[in-house]
Amino acid sequence: MSDQRREPAGEHPVQPPTEPGTALHLALVLLVAASGAVEAISFTALEHVFAGVMTSNLALLGMAIGRGQATGVTAAVLALTGFALGAAVTARLTRRSGDAGPGWPAPVMYCLTGEAVVLAAGAVIWAAMGGTPGQTARDALQFGAAATMGVQSAAMVAAGRAAAPTTYLTGTLATYIVRGVGAGRPNRWVPAQLAALMVGAGVSMLLLREAPGWAGVLPVALVVCAILTAAAPVIRMRRGPSGS
């Protein structure tokens, strides 16, 4: 009889965690750019609250209460509620996400697809109103924008080591300075993410000024590109054996 030991049925050797590949890093950069675009629309064209930065929204809520501004209170509460709902639903859908190998787990990809669908619906509403929605539409769009950022934030948490924050980069910047620059091991993708946030917001502002009805298309396009980029390694891996 052979002395070779076989793996028990249904069990696989545990693989050490690996760093995300280039495709996933690029997907993260695209998602950051999308969040920058959404934040520009949310803060400047809706009710002057953020779609994905809840720390700032809590401060804005406190200021609105202190000033007795009902509109500011409503906007902040809508953003906080939308973000929380989006994050909670995503957490529920991704709670059993496992290791997806070279890509993000399927539930994460499904949630990002759902984010793109909601953003697309918002873009259609925005375009139909010529980029100047009324109060009720602004409230609905504010809630939806915050919900998409909640989805995106929770999806990146569920993706684990293969992802990073994409809607709130204060911690990313602090970690880069302390563990990167301070320790002499800077992560070259962090500057790309910070630049993407500014570029996404800047292009969004340009569209709001020059072609306001089209401003909602940019976040949709960026999220779709991120999904396709993140899916590329898995597609190549599945096609590899059949093509050989």
The share of the chain scoring above pLDDT 70, in percent, equals: 85
Per-residue pLDDT of 61-106, as tens digits, reads 999 999 999 989 999 999 999 999 999 999 999 987 666 566 899 9
Tokens, residue 106: 């399927």
Mean model confidence pLDDT for the chain: 88
Pick the closest to residue 22 from 105, 112, 103, 107 (CA basis).
103
Burial class of 162 by CB neighbour count within 10 A (0 to 12, 13 to 18, 19+): buried
- pLDDT score for 109: 96
**At residue 110, does pLDDT exceed 80?**
yes
- pLDDT score for 101: 62
| Counted domains in the chain | 1
Per-residue pLDDT of 213-222, as tens digits, reads 999 999 999 9
Does 99 reside within a domain? Answer: yes
The share of the chain scoring above pLDDT 90, in percent, equals: 70
- pLDDT score for 154: 96
Does 214 reside within a domain? Answer: yes
**At residue 186, does pLDDT exceed 80?**
no
Does 27 reside within a domain? Answer: no
Per-residue pLDDT of 122-134, as tens digits, reads 999 999 999 999 9
**At residue 202, does pLDDT exceed 90?**
yes
Question: How would DSSP label each residue in 131-166?
Answer: T---HHHHHHHHHHHHHHHHHHHHHHHHTGGG---S
CB 82, CB 150: distance < 8 Å: yes
Determine the structural domain holding residue 209 and report its residue range: 39-45+83-234
Does 14 reside within a domain? Answer: no
**At residue 243, does pLDDT exceed 70?**
no
Does 50 reside within a domain? Answer: no
- pTM of the predicted protein model: 0.86
Helix, strand, or coil here: 143? helix
**At residue 241, does pLDDT exceed 80?**
no
Helix, strand, or coil here: 183? coil
Total residues found in the chain within this entry = 244
Least confident among 147-151, 184-188, 206-210: 184-188
Instruction: Give the pLDDT band (50/70/90) at residue 182.
Output: low
Instruction: Give the pLDDT band (50/70/90) at residue 187.
Output: confident
Does 223 reside within a domain? Answer: yes
- pLDDT score for 166: 94
Does 178 reside within a domain? Answer: yes
Output Rg (C-alpha) for the chain, integer angstroms. Answer: 20
CB 230, CB 27: distance < 8 Å: yes
**At residue 17, does pLDDT exceed 70?**
no
Does 20 reside within a domain? Answer: no
Residue 133, phi then psi, degrees to nearest 5: -70, 155
- pLDDT score for 100: 55
**At residue 151, does pLDDT exceed 90?**
yes
